[in-house]
Amino acid sequence: MQNENYQNVIGFKGERPTFHDAELVGIDHRPADRELLLRFARVDGTTGTFRFLGVVSLRVVDFAEQNVVSRLLISPTYDFSAAEVGQWLRWVDSRDDFDATVDQKQIDQLMADFVAGRKALFVLEPSCGAEVAVVCDSIRLSLVTDA
């Protein structure tokens, strides 16, 4: 996949595009490449695709017929507290029948990595449908006007 249509989200310049009320319409997971793509139909008619590189962990639950975004939280633009980082790290590595544990050392290391731009945390809080969390090395965004 080419990079030239993607902008680094971590160092995003200018006003970040809104994804409130956008619909998650596509998921492309490439585990061998440690890559994930999430495609959104935005209310302004554009399509936004997030490309996650160096995926460390991810979780997607409740992907359904309709998957509407309430808000996206993306480090370091969103300043996650240590408690929030711990909550999301536990959630992303847990399953319905297993609750992951995360120690303070892991939280502190990831918080430092988020601030330094070495890692990123992406959280999709839904209005309805899919909830998503991704820990990765970098996040890129492509915006395309639909024809």
- Is residue 1 a part of any domain in this protein? no
Per-residue model confidence (pLDDT) at position 100: 82
Q: Please give the DSSP secondary-structure letter assigned to residue 81.
A: -
Q: Which helix (H) or strand (E) holds 93?
A: helix 82-93
- Is residue 2 a part of any domain in this protein? no
- Is residue 111 a part of any domain in this protein? yes
Query: What is the percent of the chain with per-residue pLDDT over 90, rounded to a whole number?
Result: 65
What mean pLDDT is predicted for residues 113-132?
Answer: 94
The token pair that represents 108 in the structure block: 């502190």
What mean pLDDT is predicted for residues 121-142?
Answer: 96
Q: Which residues of 103-120 are buried (b: 16+ CB within 10 A; e: fewer)?
A: eeeebeebbebbeeeebb
Quote the CA–CA distance of 10 and 74 in Å, as a whole number.
8
User: Domain range for residue 100?
Assistant: 7-145
Query: What is the percent of the chain with per-residue pLDDT over 70, rounded to a whole number?
Result: 93
- Is residue 81 a part of any domain in this protein? yes
- Is residue 34 a part of any domain in this protein? yes
The answer to whether residue 94 scores a pLDDT higher than 50 is: yes
Per-residue model confidence (pLDDT) at position 102: 84
Per-residue model confidence (pLDDT) at position 2: 43
Per-residue model confidence (pLDDT) at position 4: 45
- Is residue 119 a part of any domain in this protein? yes
Quote the CA–CA distance of 147 and 101 in Å, as a whole number.
46
Q: How many domains does the chain have?
A: 1
- Per residue in 24-68, pLDDT (tens digit) is 999 999 999 999 999 999 999 999 999 999 999 999 999 999 999
Mean predicted lDDT score pLDDT of the chain: 89
- Per residue in 33-45, pLDDT (tens digit) is 999 999 999 999 9
Per-residue model confidence (pLDDT) at position 93: 86
Q: How does residue 3 score in pLDDT terms, banded at 50, 70 and 90? A: very low
Which of these, 109, 139, 113, 128, lies nearest to 49 by C-alpha position?
A: 139
What mean pLDDT is predicted for residues 15-29?
Answer: 93
- Is residue 26 a part of any domain in this protein? yes
Q: Residue 145 in contact with residue 103, Cβ under 8 Å?
A: no
Quote the CA–CA distance of 66 and 23 in Å, as a whole number.
7
- Is residue 139 a part of any domain in this protein? yes
Per-residue model confidence (pLDDT) at position 12: 61
